[in-house]
Structures are given as structure tokens and as C-alpha cells.
Structure 1
Amino acid sequence: MADLGEDEARFAYYAEGNARQARKRVAADLIIRDEAGSVLLVNPTYKDGWDLPGGMVESNEAPRSAAERELREELGLEVTAGRLLALDWVPPDGPWDDLLAFVFDGGQLSAADVLDLQIKDPEISEFAFVGIAKAVTMLGPALADRLLRANAALDSTTAAYCEHQGRATC
């Protein structure tokens, strides 16, 4: 049996190393399509511009679970997020630390599911299904690029990894 002093020293060593490691903000979004192939966008009340459904990951929450939770909270929709389509590192901006942005496949909704969508959260003012070309004009440049790369990944077996440093580097 290990000496208690050794265990405490090892724990302290690991805790010190953990305290020095990077802490990242993490976001998790979904690409959700209707039967026509249009993508779901939401219009948040707390910032300018449209967004993909999803949101910020809470402490000790898995990104996929966060995307599912945010969708449930905002639109009352229960989906099981599919595979990872894109991961984007976004550098610090203003008061915000750097960010890891995950985009998962949210699948395709039936016409009945689309009709059942309702805004459940005052953070969302409206939602719309739009074609990719229109979606790109409704999103900020970094998110538009992320959407294009994630959408392209739907037709491949790999996910896109990007680093946004003023422009996408993938």
C-alpha cells in the first residue's frame, strides 16, 4: 500500500500542473436540416446577427451534451447529436478568452418536427430554415466559414479543423 505522504505529494504535484494548464471557453453548435436541406438558424436577443442552434458549454459538461441541452432549452427540440463536423479555434477577442467551437451533425427534421418547433427561451427571438448560401449572408464571417466547412464535412468522413486568426486557416 502506498504511503499516504506519497499520495498527497503526487496529488499536489498534479494539482499544480493542472492549475497552469490552459482554460478554454467552449461552444457547441448543431447543423440541423429540414427535408429540403435548408439549415436551422436562430436569432439571439443578446447579440447582433443570426447563429447556429447551440451555445456555451458549462463547466465539466461534454460539448455534445451541451449542444443537445441548448437546443432543448431554446427550441424544445430533443435530438441526439451526431458526429463532429468541425472544430474551430478562435483567438481571444476583446474581453473574451480564446474559444474552441464544436459543430455537430444535428440530423434532418421531418416536416412535422419543423412545425412543432417553438421558441422556449427569451434568448431567442426567432428561427428560420434557410439555404446555405442565404445562411452565409446572415452569419458573421467566422461563423459563416465554420458553417461552410461543417456542411462540407457532412459529405465526407472527416471533420474540419480550423484556426481563425483574422481569417480561417484549415
Structure 2
Amino acid sequence: MTDRVTPSLVPDPADTDAWNAYLAEGNAKQARKRVSADVLLRDPSGRVLLVNPTYKPGWDLPGGMAEANEPPEEAVRRELVEELGIRVTLLGLLVVDWVAPHGPWDDQLAFIFDGGTLDEDEADRLRPRDDELSEAAFVTAAEATDRLRDRIRRRFEHALKALDAGRPLYLHDGAPLM
């Protein structure tokens, strides 16, 4: 059986209440995506910022999960304030990665934004501000690839390529689509 709309059951858009109820029903049937948003932040010597979460193994880029109806760029800004006490101006998008379902998780869209370079004083004062992080450290790109888990390491490596190329990349499970 297919899920087709019978034209006679579609309300007239001029009937605002009926139209909105019709749209709400359609919205309730649509898939929901988990969204994560991370940031690539550097110090004046070019090292990248990694954080060590307390709720999962391994190091990660700063950022986190978007809340309901929160744009990815706002999610990463909120996470930076909550976890590290810093505000940054995002300089652009580096990566969008569609992550296939894995383990108990549905699929996800993972964003990495360019957070630019912190000044020396700001980088030196950076410390975790809540219980979700045990450490924050600036490391070389090579050290970062050693510390990051496979999935985020692939995304990180492509974020560096996107930064060098000056254009964002679209990935499927950490690999470029084209």
C-alpha cells in the first residue's frame, strides 16, 4: 500500500486552520535527523583545539548536538559557551557529513564550521567549564589524527582539506561523495 494523498482530501489553503492541521499531520510523518555541529578552532601557532568528553571515549572537536529546531551554527555557538566559556565568530562551513545508521543510532547530519584562530591570551585561558569535558588541548593536526576516533578523524581530515581548498565538502560516512 502506498501513502498517497487523495486530492479531494487536501484542504483548501484558504482555510488556514484546516491547511495548518494538514501540514502538521504531514510534518509528524516526516523523518527526523539528529544534527551535530562542531568547530575547527586554532591557536596562533596553527594547532587545533580538541576536547575530551566525560560521557564517551576518546577526544573530539568542540561542539555537540543541536537541540530541537536549533540551527547547526547556533548549536555550536551554544556548546562553546556552555562547555568552554568562549564566543567565536564562525567563518564558514567546512564539512557536512551524512552519517549512516550505526549501532542503536539513526542517521545523522554532522557539520564542522571554521571557528578561525583564537588570540594567544584567549587560547591560554581556555578551560572546560562544565562536567561534560575533562580536558581541552591545542594539538598539532598529526596529534589530532592520533587522538580522534575513526569517524571523527575522517571528518576532521576533510575539514582541513576544505579549509585549504576554501570550499566546503559534503561527505557520506566521512568520505567525499564526488
So what's the TM-score if we normalise by structure 1? 0.91
- 3-state SS of 1:18 partner: helix
Aligned partner (choices 126, 138, 144) of residue 135 of structure 1: 144
Q: Report whether the alignment pairs 1:114 with 2:118.
A: no
Q: CA RMSD in A?
A: 1.6
Aligned partner (choices 57, 66, 85) of residue 75 of structure 2: 66
Q: Which runs of 5+ in 2 are unaligned?
A: 1-11
Task: Note if contact 2:40-2:48 (Cα within 8 Å) is conserved in structure 1.
Answer: yes
Tell me the matched-pair count: 166
The Cα of 1:157 is off from its aligned counterpart by: 3.1
**Equivalences for residues 93-108 of structure 1 within 5 A:** 93-108=102-117
- 3-state SS of 1:104 partner: strand
Task: Note if contact 2:42-2:48 (Cα within 8 Å) is conserved in structure 1.
Answer: yes
Paired residue for 2:29? Answer: 20
Paired residue for 1:79? Answer: 88
Sequence identity, in percent? 53
So what's the TM-score if we normalise by structure 2? 0.88
Paired with 1:22 and 1:147, the residues of 2 have a C-alpha distance of: 27
Paired residue for 2:167? Answer: 158
Please list every run of at least 4 consecutive aligned residues from structure 1 whose deviation after the TM superposition is greater than 6 angstroms. Answer: none
Paired residue for 1:47? Answer: 56
The one-character-per-residue Cα deviations of 1:92-122 (angstroms, maximum 9, x if unpaired) are 1222211100000011011111111121011
Q: Which runs of 5+ in 1 are unaligned?
A: none
Which has the greater radius of gyration? 2
Q: Report whether the alignment pairs 1:168 with 2:148.
A: no
Paired with 1:45 and 1:4, the residues of 2 have a C-alpha distance of: 50
Residue 21 of structure 1 aligns with an amino acid whose one-letter code is Q
